[in-house]
Structure 1
Amino acid sequence: MADSVKCVTDALLRKNILHCAICKNLLLSTPVMLVENVGNLCSTCYNENFLESKCVQNTALEELVTTLSYPCRFRENGCNHWSCSADLLDHEENCKFRSKRCPMHAITLCTWEGFPVEFVGHFLNCHGEHVINFENSLFFLDITFDDEALIKLLVMKNIILLLKMQLSLGKNKLLYIVCNVKDDDNSNFDYSVKHKGNSDNYIKTRSRVVDSNYAYKNLEECDAVSVDLVSLRQTVKVTNRITNIFKIKTYDTPVHYIGERMLQYFECPVCKSFMKPPIFQCQSGHSICNTCKPRLEKCPTCRAAFGMTRNYSLEGLTAGVSYPCAYHDFGCMLSLSPIDISRHEAVCPYKPYNCPMPQCTMSGTQDVIINHLHDFHADYVLQDASNEARFSDAKHQGYTDTFRLSDTHHSLASYNHILDRRILIEFDHIFRLTCKRMNEYCMWAAEVIGVQSELKLNFVYEVSIIDLRRPEKRLIRTDYCLNEMPEDDLFKKCIMFPNSILSAYSHNGMVSFQFKIKKGIKV
């Protein structure tokens, strides 16, 4: 636009010729009514109060208004945008120089209002407890049904995003969006979310990071991702907590597998995992994976019945496809044939596992579980070895404890249920130590929590019974640490001492023991 035309427009604006006489806004909506002794009114301000007044539609001014281009009304804040009347309202609604209220207002009643460029600094200073710093494009977020809505600022290196999540229990929906917080950031990141409950199953959703305008809108007004809570409860056994595993995929993230476009045809419509043989199909021909089929009576796409019909054509194509590891969202880069990837996934070092404490449904990688143990089960964590001590057996002293040996005053029913669990973090691994005391025996067992590589270190645990009167007198037993297993199986393979022997090491009915983890040999 020529500078002379801008000057004419500015002159008309200064004289208020182009503004409504009542609301002072530009006369961008029609009809424009010229009312005697009042002036030109927009279509909003012209109402029944002026029906008895002398008025006429100002068609000449309407034509002039639609012909001109106008500056953004946030020009004083630094915006240099000019556009015609048809586009100006859209621009002003999303103008980065428009002051906006903090999105946390709906949750914490925050009264801050400012420009989007100032928002990140405000959030970090005033809402630091709602900031998630994460690496490797992956982070975990647990929500409960008591959390109706939450907002988190996601920070990863030079990427800053805003997550808005809301449970709509009335509509049985979990809604969320991830958006940019910078107006000048045009990056369109993809992301996926795995929603987990109390089972190994999960529901996976995918979407794109939306622009910064959605950070200031209500989720009900946005095209948010929607997850059906009924399906979520049935599929992943959700009770009161949902674990959401977010994976942000940037354009500089390498593609870890071949045939990415082809893989979309192997995506299960229910769990969103890639189907591997056997692949089943409904009577109408819609395919479903072998894991989801037993849980469904009808096809989720067309509601047709399932039989035992296999999709052999699709199964045949899998031989030419490289499948990403199921744990690629956690950082695994491998892609292999269907048979080889299944073998790898059984021992993948990125495979998440459950919290070792009973009744806890938290799951995650080793670092996530360690942080979780310190945050929520600190009373049961015995030791977190320092970096200096991790490679020296001499510095790994385990822990020492005492207990009262069984006597005639304990009933068999009550004493059989004395169970003591502790967590020991040693040699960069998590160990669950369990001691069970019975009327006739005392038993100790150690389990290695999590998945180790195929060429792994074996660990042994040592139980020393110490005579409190003569500490140099000890009864020592050693055995290999076990993989994680149910309690009934655990005590079939444990270290066991008869109480008749332990009594020889007791003092005033008290027995002292030392529990230690040692490195074994490579196999």
Structure 2
Amino acid sequence: MNLLSIQTNMAELLEVQNKLLSMKCCLCKNVLSVPPIMVLSEDGTELKCGRCENNNDKASICRNIALENMAMFFSFPCKYRNCNEMIPWREVESHEDACDERTIGCPIHYQECSEGRVQVLTLEEHCKRYHKENIYYETLNFSLSPNEDNISILISSNQQFIIYITTGIKLSEINVASLKKISECFTYDLKLSSTCNNTFVAYENQPISKYDEIDHLLRYIRSDDCDLSGYPHTKVEDNVPVNKFLKEVDMTAVKLLFGDISKIRYRITIVPKKEYKDNNKESSSEIATVENHKKEVNIVDESLEKLKKQLQCPICMEYMIDKIYSCDEGHVLCINCKIQLTECPSCRTELGKLRNFPLENLADEVVLPCLFSKNGCEFTGKLELLSQHERECVHK
């Protein structure tokens, strides 16, 4: 394949990507980059993304599987404006959950904090300014009495960790949460020491959780302080989600060992795992942003072939160049097959009149190279012309 053909193929992929980027969730107005993509209207034009999955104000009709299959070949922007990363389809949600550009409610004094929501990148400076007594470096070390709670920020290995400690006569709970997607790269060591003698209890290699703001609100913030305005489908009376990373310490057993638990010193140290490297970034994708693969011709070729298959009717294998229909489960078929069938061949559900307009728009406008471009064919065209050309192409 010559350089011109490679550049043409890449340009066509970018054109498809741009059309996908123009499609927005009708609820949150973000790009449809988080699955599942659900159809909300009978005409198929109103879609919601996976970010709004718990928003059931409007019932979903079906899932747009075909659009998801198209999207998986591309990368998408983060929903936070200041983030410039392009993220593979299957990784967008996890990236946004840990993005440095996101904002969170101040974890120390959620309602009372004068700055309100704080950008993760500036949380350390925020705590230095407003919560000096709650920020620690490398090791957290302080004393607590029964029925005292503490929320602190621990900076270690250039990472930010939120430490929750709730104490009781019978049970104490400790949770260490990471603000970034590196929780699996660290563990923590916990040491409880008596202030009356030299007795201590140690727990090593405890797992670290990923910070969950809703969990934080429901578990550690009093109901009358709990502002859930940013989470319209979460209520203060909701059950606190299960946190499998929560460390529970039997204080009855500790009392037998210490003799007195009126004051206990808690020490927490973050321990990086051997494979952790500072500032490392995970990046894996089936196909990342096309612009990053200008030299990888095979990836471009494979992407185009797979993309074109998504625009073929799974029954007659012809390009879907007119009306495209979906069953209630989201499977698609062309109009010629639809008029001959009463039920979906894939799932046997009854075929209705639901059309897949987003996929139709892509199929109508997209310009793709000939299937035999790798053999030297330089033809490009819309699907209707492409279908006719490929039947007669001299390069096949």
Query: TM-score, normalising length from structure 1?
Result: 0.37
- Structure of greater relative contact order (alpha carbons < 8 Å, 6+ residues apart): 2
**When you count strand as a share of all residues, which structure comes out higher?**
1
Larger radius of gyration: 1
